[in-house]
Amino acid sequence: MKVLVPVKRVIDYNVKVRVKADQTGVDLANVKMSMNPFDEISVEEAVRLKEKGKATEVIAVSIGPQQASETIRTALAMGADRGILVKTDAEVEPLAVAKILKAICDEEKPMLVITGKQAIDDDSNQTGQMLAALLGWAQGTFAHKLELGDADAKIEREIDGGLQTVDVKLPAVMSVDLRLNEPRYASLPNIMKAKKKPIAEKAPADYGVDIAPKLKTLKVTEPPKRQAGIKVKTVAELLDKLKNEAGVI
Amino acid sequence: MASLVIAEHDNKVLKEATAKVVTAASQLGGPVHVLVAGQGAQGVADAAAKLQGVEKVLLADDALYAKMVAETMETLILSLADKYDAILAPATTNGKNYMPRVAAKLDVAQVSEVIAIESPDTFVRPIYAGNAFATVQSTDAIKVLTIRTTAFDAAATTGGGATVETITPQADAGVSKVVLQELTKSARPELGNARVIVSGGRGLGSSENFRMLEALADKLNAALGASRAAVDAGYVPNDYQVGQTGKIVAPDLYVAVGISGAIQHLAGMKDSKVIVAINKDPDAPIFQIADYGLVGDLFEIIPALTAELSS
């Protein structure tokens, strides 16, 4: 079975984000960009399925600027077979991403789409679920463990208060949480090999998808800063402050 | 401008998250209806009817909704959607699971984790782990919002006099079913609405050492939380995780023990009223946001703190 893995190019998770002075967004100039950490987990899971003989082909898709091809290369170096870059310099909202992915699914007919549960830039946590709805497929979000059968999948999910296992019919969409696996580092030979793997270049219009945003960003601001307080020296002093100054115990 | 709030509950108890979303919905200006989808959830519907500001409660009571499976929630909510200008759910793992399906089928954007409502079409939401706030205006006919419950006060749980109307369940798509659910059993308050939270990080070193925090939490009637590092190390279950990708909390008192304070963790707790940090590294970033910092060995400080609270 084919497995499709969408990957997003985002600001690296170690970078301290700066809001632009004109309040139009955050400063992305000369900032280190990487694959969304959740998407690394998706790619890893897909590659493991291939290594176990469950998946026949792993396709990595990215929607974004030309540089998003580097993100696809990272997925290819980890073990994905080929890539599709849907090139656009515009900001693409989760719904439009889901529509493009749906069109790709109609063409490629994967049995499983594995997405990250959220991207660490817009923190939306929507794309996988929207894609599943548009396709009329089942979903297993925030996946902790996957048992893939031929016609169905058992997905253990991280939920408020514990874990839940859903049995979903294939084809399905799975969104991954942090503890599904530990993504590998690509080895040098695999990075070299990845350079020869094909990446098809497309545009949103090729899929007939209108990517015009439905939300207008009026402004992006810095959150109120929390001031550092004081250091106390002893447990007794701490308790005294909590009781008599803060009044919280 | 009528709003539909999707209730969060466990078929027995209406969760406080619902009362907070009702507050957010009230700020949109129109009448507020609440949908209770569950099994044997009449009591939940009755509780929702008492919430201040709720005009009508819709109860869909069927085995299909016992676990709020996303695919069945989608069809149920869609069957009601055309009567509303806004549909709201708490940004819990349930709300995050079903709401984007609803938005996609309505062909509208979802605004996730709303922290402020500026007007019926303009909302503030955190992005980049809360390191920036975006103010967005929706052009869609129906607004689909998930609400960060820590940002809104709960509506009063008494005094409301809504009617409860039973609605017919929708057909099951039959593509998904819950086969197992294991919830962490604990006598402590829930992380999401605890007044006090004691949270541990990698500094604890082992799951055995987390017991020490349990003793302190019991003294403070606190919930237990953890950093991602502690969860990944297997010290505690995943549902303890506080942070950008875990739970977002804002208790009156947050005690961070052996947590260095990565931005991803701070994203989940920096709106707490009072923050206490206990860490052996005086340069740990957690001290930059803590109201009270205590530098030292947590293995001495925590037992001493617990003992002092007992005396």
Q: What is the pLDDT of residue B145?
A: 98
Are B99 and B110 in contact, with CB atoms under 8 Å apart? Answer: yes
**B143-147 and B86-90: which strand pairing?**
parallel
Q: What is the mean pLDDT of residues B59-82?
A: 97
Are A5 and A42 in contact, with CB atoms under 8 Å apart? Answer: yes
> What would the pLDDT profile of A19-75 be if each residue is shown by its tens digit?
999 999 999 999 999 999 999 999 999 999 999 999 999 999 999 999 999 999 999
Are A54 and A48 in contact, with CB atoms under 8 Å apart? Answer: no
Q: What is the DSSP string of A92-149?
A: --HHHHHHHHHHHHHHH--SEEEEES--TTT----HHHHHHHHHT-EEEEEEEEEEE-
Type of residue numbered A29: A
Q: Which residues pair with A169 in a beta bridge?
A: A152
pLDDT level of residue B155 (50, 70, 90 thresholds): very high
3-state secondary structure of B249: coil
Q: Mutate one of A14, A125, A134 to test the B interface: name it (highest B CB count within 10 A).
A: A125
pLDDT level of residue B205 (50, 70, 90 thresholds): very high
Residues 225-244 (A) with a CB less than 8 A from some CB of B:
226, 228-236, 238-239, 241-242
Are B170 and B76 in contact, with CB atoms under 8 Å apart? Answer: yes
Check if A22 contacts B (Cβ < 8 Å).
Answer: no
> What would the pLDDT profile of A172-212 be if each residue is shown by its tens digit?
999 999 999 999 999 999 999 999 999 999 999 999 999 99
> ipTM value of the model?
0.96
Are B34 and B164 in contact, with CB atoms under 8 Å apart? Answer: no
Which residues in chain B are contacts of A229 at CB distance < 8 A?
275, 290-293
Q: What is the pLDDT of residue B184?
A: 87
- CA gap A10, A217 in Å, rounded: 18
Which residues in chain A are contacts of B126 at CB distance < 8 A?
123, 223
Q: What is the pLDDT of residue B173?
A: 87
pLDDT at B1 over 90: no
Check if B119 contacts A (Cβ < 8 Å).
Answer: no
Min Cα distance A174 → chain B (Å) is 11
Are B194 and B228 in contact, with CB atoms under 8 Å apart? Answer: no
Q: What is the DSSP string of B92-155?
A: SHHHHHHHHHHHHHHT--EEEEE-EEEETTEEEEEETTTTEEEEEEE-SSSEEEEE-GGGSPPP
Min Cα distance B161 → chain A (Å) is 30
Q: What is the pLDDT of residue A133?
A: 98
> What would the pLDDT profile of A82-97 be if each residue is shown by its tens digit?
999 999 999 999 999 9
pLDDT at B185 over 90: no
pLDDT level of residue B311 (50, 70, 90 thresholds): confident
Q: Do A235 and B128 touch (CB under 8 A)?
A: no
Residue closest to B147 by CA, chosen among B166, B173, B123 = B123
Q: Do B288 and A249 touch (CB under 8 A)?
A: no
What percent of chain B lies above the pLDDT cut of 70? 100
Check if B171 contacts A (Cβ < 8 Å).
Answer: no
Measure CA of the first residue to CA of the last residue in chain B; give whole Å.
55
Task: Determine the residue of chain B that is closest to A182 in CA distance.
Answer: B232
3-state secondary structure of A222: coil
Cα–Cα distances (Å) from A224 to A27, A202, A227, B130, B132, in that order, read 18, 41, 9, 10, 9
Which residues in chain A are contacts of B134 at CB distance < 8 A?
217, 219-220
Min Cα distance B165 → chain A (Å) is 28
Which residues in chain A are contacts of B103 at CB distance < 8 A?
95, 126, 130
Number of Cβ pairs < 8 A linking chain A and chain B = 262
> What would the pLDDT profile of B128-144 be if each residue is shown by its tens digit?
999 999 999 999 999 99
Check if A94 contacts B (Cβ < 8 Å).
Answer: yes
- CA gap B286, B276 in Å, rounded: 9
pLDDT at B257 over 90: yes
Q: Mutate one of B292, B298, B300, B306 to test the A interface: name it (highest A CB count within 10 A).
A: B292
Q: Do A166 and B69 touch (CB under 8 A)?
A: yes
pLDDT at B193 over 90: no
Check if A133 contacts B (Cβ < 8 Å).
Answer: yes
Q: What is the pLDDT of residue A135?
A: 98
pTM of the model: 0.96
Average pLDDT, whole number, for chain A? 97
SS in 3 state form for B280-304?
CCCCCHHHHCCCEEEECCHHHHHHH
Q: Which of B137, B263, B274 comes nearest A248 by C-beta?
A: B274
Residue closest to A161 by CA, chosen among B168, B128, B68, B233 = B68
Q: Mutate one of B9, B12, B97 to test the A interface: name it (highest A CB count within 10 A).
A: B97
Q: What is the mean pLDDT of residues B4-20?
A: 97
